[in-house]
Amino acid sequence: MNTWITHDRTMTSEVYMIDGYAVVVTNDSDGPWAAADVVYFDGLQAELGTESGEYFDGDTLDTLEYAFNWSGTPHNSESTMDWIGPTLFTATPDPANGNILLDITPGTSSTVDAITRTDANGTHPVRLLPNQLPTPSQLIVRDYEAALTGPVTYTLTGAGGSQVTTSLGSDHPWLFVPVYPQFSAAVESVTGYTSDRATQTTVHQVIGRPDPLVTIGRLQTRAGTLEIWCASHADALTVQNVYSLGHAVMLRQVEHAGLDMYHFARAVTVDPFAPQGARTRWRVAVDYVEVNRPTADLAGSLGWNYSELAAAHTSYFEVAFTYADYNALLVGPLT
């Protein structure tokens, strides 16, 4: 074979570096070359994936979507392919974990300044780690607060105002701590819902006057009870643990638009329910008070790693004393 060709192969390989050159050792036994053949490459493009893309190098002509460059000396350095087209924005539902994965690549000369979600619960900013925005770079985040009912629309501020709509499609309710989403529980069902909304209206009965004087107050947020049903005692304790942090908890459910809420528990009761001839289920009764959406950034293990753990504690015994269990260790300091 004495001509130059372009050849695509899928191989299982290991790559070694020898004097700056990549040597690919593969188990490919049915390629176009025989054993002991001498093969010369003027370009080699290795890709991880199931399909090969088109060959490029730093001399490839730019397109409307990509710019091609050499990272150093032409023909003696790495080649780069940089996205310069319009903003790429996808929203991928993850019903098993109760969240939506957002993948955003800003277009050329643009930045993402804010991400807003509109769903059955209204319009709110997507909760992020501190200082993630604004950014001109690719941003991948998980939104744990999208409603489980109806469409969910995300809108970018900046980056051309791109917009994408999806739906989560979960088949069971979720309870979780918005600031620490790793504290979450998927539950069988939520029943026994009651909702009372008091007012701050005060009525003054005036002596000698037939009608009262009324100081009108606004209707307050919901307060009442929830019955959360779990398949096992362990699941019931997981729900109880969600309420144990002292942070607002969000209920998301699949049946009624507008019923989702952020709330605190005034009391949590766990007890078994075992009707005759049926399996035992566990009821978690929550005496709740609804609150406004918390505004804090994401925290906990999403910004907590082993380097920070080592810097914060001098010994294993100090770590064991500080964190009650492994979940608490993953969350990190509750500051």
Query: Tell me: the pLDDT tens digits for 27-51?
Result: 555 556 666 677 666 666 766 666 6
Q: How do residues 100-159 score in pLDDT, each as one tens digit?
A: 999 999 987 789 999 999 999 999 999 998 889 999 989 999 999 999 999 999 999 988
Res. 56: pLDDT tops 80: yes
Biggest alpha carbon–alpha carbon distance for the chain = 115
- CATH at residue 161: 2.60.40
Q: How far apart are CA 334 and CA 215, in angstroms?
A: 41
Question: Are the C-beta atoms of 70 and 58 separated by less than 8 Å?
Answer: yes
The answer as to whether 55 is a domain residue is: no
Structure tokens at 100: 């939506």
Q: Are both 284 and 313 inside the same structural domain?
A: no
pLDDT in tens, 153-177: 999 998 878 999 999 988 899 999 9
Strand order in the sheet with 184-186: 184-186, 174-176, 249-252, 261-273, 281-291, 223-230, 189-191
Residues 159 and 203 in one domain: no
CATH of the domain at 273: 2.40.30
User: Please, which pLDDT band fits residue 306 given cuts at 50, 70 and 90?
Assistant: low
pTM summary value: 0.69
pLDDT at 308 > cutoff 50: yes
Domain count of the chain? 3
**pLDDT over 90 for what percent of the chain?**
56
User: Alpha-carbon Rg of the chain, whole angstroms?
Assistant: 29
pLDDT at 62: 87
Quick check: is 59 in a domain?
no
Domain span including residue 144: 88-166
Residue at 24 is within a domain: no
* Integer Cα distance of 88 and 152 in angstroms: 18
In a domain, 42, yes or no: no
Q: In Å, how far are 58, 67, 163 from 80, measured between CA atoms?
A: 7, 8, 28
Residues 182 and 110 occupy one common structural domain: no
pLDDT at 18: 47
162 and 181 housed in the same domain: no
Q: Residue 162 and residue 81: Cα distance in Å, rounded?
A: 23
Structure tokens, 130: 């501190």
- Separation of alpha carbons 324 and 335, rounded Å: 16
